[in-house]
Amino acid sequence: MKATEFIVNALRKQGVNQVFGYPGGAIMPLYDALYDGGVAHLLARHEQGAIMAALGYARAGARVGVCIATSGPGATNLVTGLAEAMADSIPVVAFTGQVPSALIGVDTFQEVDILGMTLSCTKHSFLVEDQNDLDRIIAEAFTIATTGRPGPVLIDIPKDIQLAEMASETVSELPALPPLDGLVDEEVAAARALLHAAKKPVLYVGGGVGMANAVPELRELAAALDIPMVSTLKGIGSADPEHPYYLGMLGMHGLKAANLAVQESDLLIAVGARFDDRVTGKLDEFAPHAKVIHLDIDACEHNKLRVANVAISTDLKLILPALKMSLDIAPWRLHTLEMKVATAFRYDHPGIAIYAPLLLKQLSARLPEDHLVACDVGQHQMWTAQHMTFTQPENLLSSAGFGTMGFGLPAAVGAALARPDAVPVVITGDGSIMMNIQELATINRAKLPVKIVLIDNQRLGMVRQWQTLFFDGRLSQTILDDNPDFVALAAACGIPGETVVVKEQVQPAMDRMLASDGAYFLHVQISEQENVWPLVPPGVNNGEMLEQYDEC
């Protein structure tokens, strides 16, 4: 048996039945094995599209994403996706072809030291030196990608190794995992004592909750504590959005009540969150009166940016139930509820022009229960986080920690394959979509029913907003008023669509989009002057957000 046949068998043994990739010279032996290997392969039109699709598949389907690329430029085109997976803790295993072993290090055609290049953006990586190590390496790669804090693993395989014969055809069983550390009584008691003493506690929910499969435990804890909650971008969908004291996203574009509650709080319970700079704003003025309980599987996050009074590194499914109690915080609950009501978003936008927050709120209300939304990066991403409602974290795929424009369209491709019963929606901008626009052809090829909503302000909107606010309105390289005809571009890829420019066109267009069997492209033109509010400017604390509402 050739090594490449063994790899495909090992993938199947890992439960992998879908991979993403793009062939090329140094990976041709593996593609030959995939030809009739019994594992489905989705051909993207760029390696970056392939790995973003694998990430969308992993995030939406709660499984490992697998992608494959050739050596040299194929491998380097994966780098942004690996970094994205590292920042957002997404389990992915990437296979790259490498030039033959004897030619490594002599500047061969399409040779690059991808292992060296990706040391900083993989959780671990392997260069296969002996085909008989593949059994161990693949098992380790999947274990590393999925355990603890998930992340990307790279396996670089020289072409001669791919073609070599295996000494054994047997794929080993996965090694048993050492059990996670259990609860430490003293730590639990210390956390409970802080909770019991708190008068203004806030639960700060991050992406780790969904990845730990601890949404039920979080909601049970929230119900028991009846506590005000805020969410990071990646945490959205973890807390029950109907919970009366759920205040929404915090941070730079967070909801006012969420930020104010955190600033006033006397105890933050950070759950699978990491005090990211987009969350904290000016770090030394973030939640200045709060003690901190920090719950995260990755001990590296403890005391990295904010010193915790109690830091616990264990499975959230274990620790969250141990914190249940009744809290005597009625005045605080009432106060946060009053703030939530008083600062709620308004949608009575004047004029006939389309107001993106209202459109997204309407779209959210119209989507069937089983849906998923993949975002790109920019203003539309923040509006989506602010104005759409998500009931599960795997329903919102957003490039949070790395902020990768071009994520949304290919992520939706992977997500659509992971969750074929869900309605897959892309919310994107005219800047972001052009970064992986070639994946329209992938959507057409795979006949995926992806609904693409392009919020087009003919600007690189978020950068334009900052230029307007903080760079004297000098719009350096952010005017995109020569964008392509997007509907024609989609049509050229076999995807029907339409353009809407005024409010009254929105609902009928949504009708057509949601009634369509296949992919659909809804091109939404909005004013170039729309901004994302609130906004916490650089260098101030989250209580000092700007709230100037649009004049357009």
Binding site for other proteins (CB under 8 A): 115-116, 119-120, 123-124, 127, 140, 144, 298-300, 302-304
CB of 118 to other proteins, least distance (A): 11
Residue tagged active-site, from 1, 2, 28, 110: 110
The answer to whether 535 and 256 are in contact (CB under 8 A) is no
Residue tagged active-site, from 159, 340, 361, 451: 159
Residue tagged active-site, from 252, 388, 462, 510: 462
- What is the rounded distance in angstroms from the CA atom of residue 75 to the CA atom of residue 96? 6
CB of 140 to other proteins, least distance (A): 8
Residue 521 designated active-site: no
Closer residue to other proteins (CB): 183 or 305: 305
Long-range Cβ pairs for the range 443-448 (8 Å, 24+): 443/409, 443/413, 443/493, 443/495, 443/519, 444/493, 444/494, 444/495, 444/519, 445/43, 446/42, 446/413, 446/417, 447/518, 448/412, 448/413, 448/416, 448/417, 448/424, 448/518, 448/519
Closer residue to other proteins (CB): 144 or 230: 144
- What is the rounded distance in angstroms from the CA atom of residue 510 to the CA atom of residue 467? 33
Assign 210 to helix, strand or coil: helix
CA distances from residue 365 to 168, 368, 369, 516 in whole angstroms, order as listed:
55, 8, 10, 18
Residue tagged active-site, from 5, 18, 20, 47: 47
CB of 144 to other proteins, least distance (A): 6
Closer residue to other proteins (CB): 303 or 507: 303
CB of 300 to other proteins, least distance (A): 4
CB of 299 to other proteins, least distance (A): 5
Q: Which residues contact 320 (CB under 8 A, 6 or more apart)?
A: 214, 217, 218, 220, 221, 271, 295
* Number of helical (H) and strand (E) elements in the chain, helices listed first: 22, 18
CB of 209 to other proteins, least distance (A): 21
Residue 159 designated active-site: yes
Assign 513 to helix, strand or coil: helix
CA distances from residue 331 to 270, 328, 338, 410 in whole angstroms, order as listed:
22, 9, 11, 47
Closer residue to other proteins (CB): 105 or 508: 105
Residue 434 designated active-site: no
Closer residue to other proteins (CB): 127 or 229: 127
Residue 392 designated active-site: no
Residue 110 designated active-site: yes
Closer residue to other proteins (CB): 115 or 190: 115
What is the set of active-site residues?
Answer: 47, 109-110, 159, 462
